C-alpha cells in the first residue's frame, strides 16, 4: 500500500510524504503506483518551476518535501490539485492500495 501524508498548519501546506508500493499489479504494470508517482513528482516539479515558493526534499527511497517558508497561492493550488488527484485514485481503487492522510498541526 502507498501511504501519502500531507501536513498543514493553519490551512496552509507545510509538508508532504509518500512511501510504499500499491501492489495493484506486477512491477512495471502497476497503474496505481504509476499514477501516484506521476502526480506527486509533477507537483513537486511544478512548484519548483512555476512558483516563488521554496521546496526542500528527497526522492531517494520515499518521496518527501516540505516548504521552508509559507507556500504562495500558486503552490497552494498545485497542492490542492495533487490532493484532488490522489483522492480520486483512492476512491477508484480503494485504500488497500493508497491511503491519503491529511494532518492539521
pLDDT, average across residues 8-32 = 95
Provide the whole-model pTM.
Answer: 0.93
Q: What's the CA gap between 73 and 2, in Å, rounded?
A: 27
pLDDT at 16 over 90: yes
Q: Please state whether beta strands 2-9 and 63-66 pair in parallel, antiparallel, or not at all (unpaired).
A: unpaired
* pLDDT at res. 79: 98
Cα 56 to chain centroid, rounded: 14
* pLDDT at res. 48: 96
Q: What's the CA gap between 46 and 89, in Å, rounded?
A: 20
* pLDDT at res. 59: 83
Which tens digits make up the pLDDT trace of 44-81?
999 999 999 999 999 888 999 999 999 999 999 999 99
2-104, which class in CATH?
alpha beta
pLDDT, average across residues 24-46 = 95
Alpha helices in 12-101 (DSSP H): 31-50, 73-93
Which pLDDT band, with edges at 50, 70 and 90, does 83 fall under? very high
Q: What residues have CB less than 8 Å from 89, skipping those under 6 apart?
A: 32, 35, 36, 39, 98
Look over the chain and give the mean of its residue pLDDT values, rounded to a whole number.
Answer: 95
pLDDT at 100 over 90: yes
Amino acid at each position: 500500500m502507498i501511504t501519502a501524508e500531507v501536513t498543514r498548519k493553519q490551512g496552509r501546506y507545510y509538508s508532504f510524504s509518500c512511501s510504499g508500493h500499491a501492489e495493484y499489479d506486477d512491477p512495471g504494470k502497476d497503474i496505481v503506483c504509476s499514477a501516484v508517482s506521476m502526480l506527486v513528482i509533477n507537483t513537486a516539479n511544478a512548484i519548483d518551476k512555476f512558483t516563488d515558493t521554496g521546496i526542500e526534499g528527497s526522492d531517494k527511497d520515499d518521496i518527501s518535501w516540505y516548504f521552508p517558508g509559507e507556500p504562495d497561492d500558486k503552490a497552494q493550488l498545485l497542492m490542492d490539485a495533487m490532493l484532488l488527484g490522489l483522492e480520486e485514485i483512492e476512491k477508484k481503487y480503494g485504500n488497500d492500495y493508497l491511503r491519503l492522510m491529511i494532518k492539521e498541526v
